[in-house]
Amino acid sequence: MNRISSGQFTVILLISSAFSFMCTAVPFSAEQMIASIIAIAIQIILCIPILFVYKKGLDLEYTCSNLRWITLLPIIYFLIRGSQSFVQIWNVSDSLSLPFSGDFLATAMIALVCLYTASLGIKALARSTTMVFGILIFTLAVMLIGAYQNMHLQNLSFSPDNTIIKSVMYQLSYADELPILLILLAFTSGNRTKSTMCFFGGSLILWEFILFLGITVLGRLMKTSSYPFFMIANVSQPFSTQRSDALYLILFVLLCVMRITLFTVLSEHLLGIAFPKFKKYRSTACLLVMLIAASGFQAIQTEISRYNFIIVCFLMIFLPIIFFIQFKHYPKCKGEVHQ
């Protein structure tokens, strides 16, 4: 796997985070704006162990090749979260009556695009996410222009139906960028700590921006919205003769493709480390597992996001400890130090 720059590392994680807030299915509130700050602070604390181990000189590939059973944990996690991404796109498209809702052909096309992008490697994915990030910024700018006339600051108030603690738990339930970060740091050049802080800073800005727009623009409409982001897009039309719905739809599909491709690339790379003889069709196998798991989750209507943060905490604490123990007993695990 080729190395990526610190800027590409930040953008990849921000793109994944952006898909999460587009799929947010709970009403926005002022409590969530405060909760976002608390949730980011908790995530930064969880990153301290892995940043410490990398700073000491961890060679992730060498370590994982000697601890195959450990490598299986993030692989399983990435496959499950990839399958959940398929479920999210199905749920959003069904709720909003998008043209590809529940359509097998559309899902197959998305999977094929993900497979092709994954076959090009992490470097190509990093370049693609940089372009998609530009589309994201442009889309948010269009949304802001359309929302400006409809913003009412008096709507910025606390909700009687929500609490800060509840909002923090909801935010953390979608904090699946941490395990991605844990693996992706191994292939990032430059200052890893600075790159990580840039991601969290950018993520906080994105969340606060969308929450602020949603609360001030939607007001009472918030309770009638299944997916607030798309309700903001529906209400905030900047062009008098041309609706901008297609722009949001394109962005939604692109973010989904980038996110699933990211899970596929990381899973197939770790599979290659754990099982060196499994050289062909790793990406295909990963995507097939995601699709099968997604179909199963959709059929039984199971929501596993509520357990996600528990799993994330386990991975972000347990894996660095194991890596550090391995690294202390076997000096060969130490690679080139990239602070």
Domain-located, residue 1:
no
The answer to whether 64 and 330 are in contact (CB under 8 A) is no
Domain-located, residue 100:
yes
Domain-located, residue 335:
no
Residue 267 has pLDDT above 90, yes or no: yes
pLDDT per residue over 100-114, tens digit each? 555 667 788 888 889
Dist CA 130 CA 317 (whole Å): 30
Range in 79-93, 243-257, 279-293 the model is least confident about: 243-257
Q: Which token pair is 70?
A: 């450990």
Domain-located, residue 336:
no
pLDDT per residue over 142-155, tens digit each? 888 888 877 888 87
The pLDDT value recorded for residue 100 is 54
Residue 1 has pLDDT above 60, yes or no: no
pLDDT per residue over 160-194, tens digit each? 777 888 888 888 888 889 999 999 998 888 889 99
The pLDDT value recorded for residue 204 is 94
Residue 242 has pLDDT above 60, yes or no: no
The pLDDT value recorded for residue 330 is 58
Domain-located, residue 247:
yes
The pLDDT of 214-231, averaged and rounded, is 81
Cα–Cα–Cα angle for 270, 274, 277, rounded to 5 degrees: 110
Question: Residue 72: which CATH number?
Answer: 1.10.4160.10
Range in 30-39, 144-153, 254-263, 268-277 the model is least confident about: 144-153
Q: How many domains does the chain have?
A: 1
Domain-located, residue 339:
no
Residue 153's domain comprises 6-330
Domain-located, residue 147:
yes
CB atoms within 10 A of CB 27: 20
String of b and e for 120-153 (b: at least 16 CB within 10 Å)? eebebbbebbeebbeebeebbebbeebbeeebee
